Structure 1
Amino acid sequence: MFKLMQLEWRKLKRTSFIGEVSTYFLIMAAIPVFFIKVVHPSFGESYDMAFEFINLSTQMAYIIFAASLINQVIIEEYKNKTITLAFSYPINRQKLFMVKIFFIAAMMFAVELISFIISGVATYAIDAAFDIINGSPSAEQIYMYFMNAIFYSATTILVGLIPMFYFGIIRRATVTTVIAGIFIMQVLNFTYILQWNDELVLSVLCLLGAVSIFLSVKMIDRVGEV
């Protein structure tokens, strides 16, 4: 399994991937402070509010990152016909596809968790220098921030993989996969703005993501490489 995941890493356009990830890190380090200072000062009322904004914005951003990974790891292989070579290996197709899903999930979790750390540290450092957030973070708030970072990094995997089965495997549509990611991102945004039950909405999205993963693995023998 690990060797197959290493193969997926070697097949990835690593220069483009590293550049994309670096851009995400820079943006997610700057966005919280920009919104707190310029766009929505209410997020600066307390560290609870600031951390809540970082949680939401980071999760939304990495749903788009998931769409990018689906394009690179799955759709491009179909379009370049390299999926045919992979399916010719003496390994079960479902196992091969599970490797792709595990690879995407591992990349998403690691990159998003690092982004949470960068955003949190950058926000605290800038606040220490310019005093843009009321009060100081307590040990309990910092602990909860990191627990939430792990939780949101995990749930974003399921939410981000919603477009994989239909748009990634069936339609193999690069642009539409990204558009689907943007739509899902806006669902989370409007959930916060309209104060819907965010736990219920997130649970439904995670369920849809789990169904997409299940169908992707279950149907891969029928879909094939055509």
Structure 2
Amino acid sequence: MAKWIELEWRKLQTKKVIGEAVVYWVILMFLPVVFLRSDFASATGVSIGESYASAMDLMLPIQMGFLLFGASLINHVFIEEYKNRTMALSFGYPLSRRKLVVAKVLFIALAVFFCTIVSFVLAGITTYGFDLALDIIEGTPTAADFANYAVRTIIHSAEVALASLIPLFFFGLWRRAVIMTVVCAISLMQLPNVLAMFGIAFNPDLLYAVLSLVGLASVYLSVRFVNKVGDL
């Protein structure tokens, strides 16, 4: 399976994909500081600058931006291969279609997971550095804050990786629609903001868990019905 995942990487335009990831990293590493320095907190009634623990509430939804990166990978790994008629060639390999789809899915999930972890690290370093210079967060981080951030980084990166697979079955394999795949990712990324805008109370951790389960369901359907979906 590892060799098939490596093959998926080699088939991509690696410079383009890496460049896209770097753009996300640069944007997301500065967004927490931008929000902390703006009137976002007072406008929403959320005191995200009162402590490092509360700033975490801002950091988590920002990293949902990597759902767009997942949508881009679905386009490269699945949709483009269908449109270029190279999926039929892939299905001709001495490997079952289901195993091939699993390898592609694992590649996307691992790529999003790794990139999200890197983004968390960069955003954390940037936010901490600006706080030292500008004192934008009250108090100082404790060992418990660092440990909590590390744990949430792993958990939330996994949730983002799974949630990024939600568009896979219907928009990726079935409809093969690039625009709708991206629109779906944007909608999922903005879902917490939309719920808050309409005053709908929700538990963020529960919401991310549900999105993860929906992503797993999308993967299951993709693997389960790949023979019915076909390669044309």
Distance in structure 1 (CA, Å) of the matches to 2:161 and 2:118: 15
The answer (yes or no) to whether the contact 2:166–2:218 under 8 Å persists in 1 is: yes
Higher relative helix content:
1
1:7-36 deviation line (CA, Å, top 9, x unaligned): 100111111111111111111111000100
Distance in structure 2 (CA, Å) of the matches to 1:133 and 1:148: 19
- Amino-acid identity (%): 42
The answer (yes or no) to whether the contact 2:71–2:164 under 8 Å persists in 1 is: yes
Matched with 2:215 is: 209
Q: TM-score, normalised to structure 1's length?
A: 0.95
Unaligned stretches of 5+ residues in structure 2: 42-46
Unaligned stretches of 5+ residues in structure 1: none
Q: Secondary structure at the match of 1:88?
A: coil
Matched with 1:8 is: 8
Matched with 1:79 is: 83
Distance in structure 1 (CA, Å) of the matches to 2:182 and 2:39: 26
The answer (yes or no) to whether the contact 1:8–1:100 under 8 Å persists in 2 is: yes
1:137-184 deviation line (CA, Å, top 9, x unaligned): 111011001100100001112211111000000000001100011111
Matched with 1:198 is: 204
Instruction: Find 2:226's aligned residue among 217, 220, 226.
Output: 220
Alignment of 1:119-158 (within 5 A): 119-158=123-162
Q: Does 1:184 align with 2:200?
A: no
Whichever residue aligns with residue 10 of structure 2, its letter is: R
Distance in structure 2 (CA, Å) of the matches to 1:142 and 1:39: 26
Matched residues, number: 225
CA RMSD of aligned residues (A): 1.3
Alignment of 1:38-53 (within 5 A): 38-41=38-41, 42-53=47-58
Distance in structure 2 (CA, Å) of the matches to 1:201 and 1:76: 31
Whichever residue aligns with residue 51 of structure 1, its letter is: M
Matched with 2:18 is: 18
Distance in structure 2 (CA, Å) of the matches to 1:167 and 1:125: 41
